[in-house]
Chain A
Amino acid sequence: MISIYITSFIVGGLICVIGQLLMDVAKLTPAHTLVSLVVTGSVLDGIGWYEPLIDFAGAGATIPITSFGNALTHGAMAEAEKHGLVGVVTGMFEVTSSGISAAIIFGLIGALLFTSKGNV
């Protein structure tokens, strides 16, 4: 059981290191970095590599934004398997709605509760 914590720490950390290198070495803006990682996640799922990574690293693979691309692709492919080409579009948010819905709900609640502060 302990090993899942180590692997999640290391794998999650390494994905972030890739992000940092994209920002510092490739000089990408944060937005471009995140977009690249999301696209990478969905491609990795397409070739079937991301699911084993989740099995290996648990939250280390599901918490980084790459899992967002993976989950979208996974939903689309699962639905396509059942319903053919139409499923590609309809299945997209089947599995990944939680991230977006949580962001929307907590975004609005955050706006109700807080004001931004210009401190260091």
Chain B
Amino acid sequence: MKKLSILLIILGLLTGCSEKGTYIKNTTSQDEHSLEEVIMRNEHVKLAKVLLFEDELLAGIRVNTFSRFKKKTIATDIQKKLEKEYPDLKITVSADSKILLETEKLIRKKDEKDYRKKIDKIKSIEKEQT
């Protein structure tokens, strides 16, 4: 058991589990204030990465451990609220770590050239059923 806990601690350090908050990259003229508020008002959300590009709003969220049971409902809930706030945007909210990962990659990218292609790809794998 001791070895195991050491292993888990190392894992924790490697994966950097302490990341929290909301990170937004806005490439549009939309107001991002209410966006942050909608996401942060939800007490289940631990981390959110949001990208606004042209008419797309892409949000990858991570929820607290014990909220994971209902993470799909949480994502849908946020999506609905955002759709109300930004009626003219196409909104994708997902609690899947893949979406979070990909959104993060896009945010880090300086070059906005192939954003469109990447966003379409993310949206398509998000829709895929198991």
Shortest B128–chain A CB gap in Å is 11
Residues of A within 8 A of B (CB): 1-7, 51-53, 55-56, 71, 74, 78, 95
Q: Which A residues are in CB contact (< 8 Å) with B17?
A: 1-3
Are A55 and B68 closer than 8 Å at their CB atoms?
A: yes
- Secondary structure type dominating chain B contacts: helix
B41-97 with Cβ < 8 A to chain A: 62, 65-66, 68-72, 95, 97
Q: A52-B69, A55-B72 are in contact. Are A1 and B15 (CB under 8 A)?
A: yes
Cα A53 to Cα B70 in complex, Å, equals 9
Shortest B2–chain A CB gap in Å is 15
- Secondary structure type dominating chain A contacts: helix
Cα A106 to Cα B79 in complex, Å, equals 42
Number of interface residues of B (CB under 8 A): 18
Are B69 and A78 closer than 8 Å at their CB atoms?
A: no
Say if the beta carbon of B38 comes within 8 Å of chain A: no
Cα A118 to Cα B105 in complex, Å, equals 52
Shortest A70–chain B CB gap in Å is 10
| Nearest A residue (CB) for B14 | A2
Chain B CB within 10 Å — which of A3, A51, A53 has the most? A3
Cα A55 to Cα B70 in complex, Å, equals 8
Are A52 and B130 closer than 8 Å at their CB atoms?
A: no
Q: Which of B15, B69, B97 contacts A56 (CB 8 A)?
A: B69
